[in-house]
Amino acid sequence: MIRAWLRRLLPAAQPAPVAAPEPVPAGVSPRDIGLHDAMLDGWFCGDRGELLKGFAITPGDTVLDVGCGEGVATLFAVRQGASVIFTDSEHDKVRDLARQVQAQSEQPNLGLVSNSLPLPLADGCASKVVCMEVLEHIDHPEPFMAELVRMGRPGAQYLLSVPAPVGEHLQQGIAPASYYRSPNHVQIFTPERFAALVEEAGLVIEHRQATGFFWVMGMIFFWASERAAGRDLGGAVRDRIQAPYPPLMESWARTWQDLLAQPDGLAIKRMLDGFMPKSQVIIARKPPAAEVAR
């Protein structure tokens, strides 16, 4: 049914000098396909040192990753030679990430268990600030944003993301009710509200994008599978979804890989990302000290 629905989005068949995609083996990982999908959007450009296109990390940077989770951004920064400060409210995540950072970095690094209000860090401690998929968990996002701005140096660059409203509202019909209660998602940001939150905190927006249709559908299939199995993970978030994956999620990952292999697959992906993204992303910058003083 899903494959038929996606076929209707494809243009009329045209002769194309492209080879048929290789068969995808059973047991394909949704996380691997999701990573490939993210890289098509400009994420994790290791050869250019860009966590996202337009957000480069260099050995001279100190990167603050607030709500680090599994540490994807922190470990990317470590591989670029930067110093990292990473925080999360969950002790196990900070502990496990600290072990990985210590094994891979010779730079000064710091891991903190904190709810971030406030963070025990000096003003202007970071040249790059990352806060992805965190603000939706915060009861009062304005003072949280003020704390992020405090810790960036003048001229510091920020990479911020929150779930997009269309995908959030769609999941409300199938996700457990606890997914939309503290400490899970207690805020839904329209694009206008998200931009206003960033700008009113004193940052200047440099870039915006929507991404992740693949994961909206993947999460819906995850919730459906959990319901069918009689399980309720109490508001599980994406970084807790690990192998073995439900067959429905694996089937969706194969379908998405098949779509991307089509001649117009990338164009269709971008259209779907704009129509129903998982996340909305903002790259912003703290004004230089001279501008702040005016």
For residue 93, give the nearest of 106, 78, 74, 108 by alpha carbon.
74
Structure tokens at 290: 């001279």
Report the CATH number at residue 118.
3.40.50.150
Number of structural domains (the chain) is 1
Q: Mind listing the pLDDT tens digit of every residue in the chain (294 residues)?
A: 444 433 443 334 333 343 433 444 455 799 999 999 999 999 999 999 999 999 999 999 999 999 999 999 999 999 999 999 999 999 999 999 999 999 999 999 999 998 878 888 999 999 999 999 999 999 999 999 999 999 999 999 999 999 999 999 998 888 888 888 888 899 999 999 999 999 999 999 999 999 999 999 999 999 899 888 887 666 556 666 788 889 999 999 999 999 999 999 999 999 999 999 999 999 999 999 755 444
Q: What 3-state class would DSSP assign to 117? A: coil
| Residue pair 45/38 in contact by the 8 Å Cβ criterion | no
Does any domain span residue 2?
no
Distance between CA atoms of residues 213 and 5, nearest Å? 15
Q: Would you call the peptide bond into 141 cis, given omega within 30 degrees of 0 as the criterion?
A: no
Single out the residue of 177, 184, 165 nearest to residue 238, CA to CA.
184
Give SS3 for 270: helix
Burial of 120 (0-12, 13-18, 19+ CB in 10 A): exposed
Q: Is 9 inside any structural domain?
A: no
Host domain of residue 167: 26-286
Q: Is residue 184 part of a domain?
A: yes
In a domain, 17, yes or no: no
How far apart are alpha carbons 151 and 131 in whole angstroms?
Answer: 12
Residue 4 lies in a domain: no
- The verdict on residue 38 lying in a domain is yes
Domain presence at residue 14: no
Q: What is the pTM of this model?
A: 0.87
Encode 72-104 in three state secondary structure: HHHHHHHHCCCEEEEEECCHHHHHHHHHHHHHH
CA angle 128, 134, 59 (to 5 degrees): 20
- Is 32 part of any domain? yes
Distance CA 242, CA 69 (A): 14
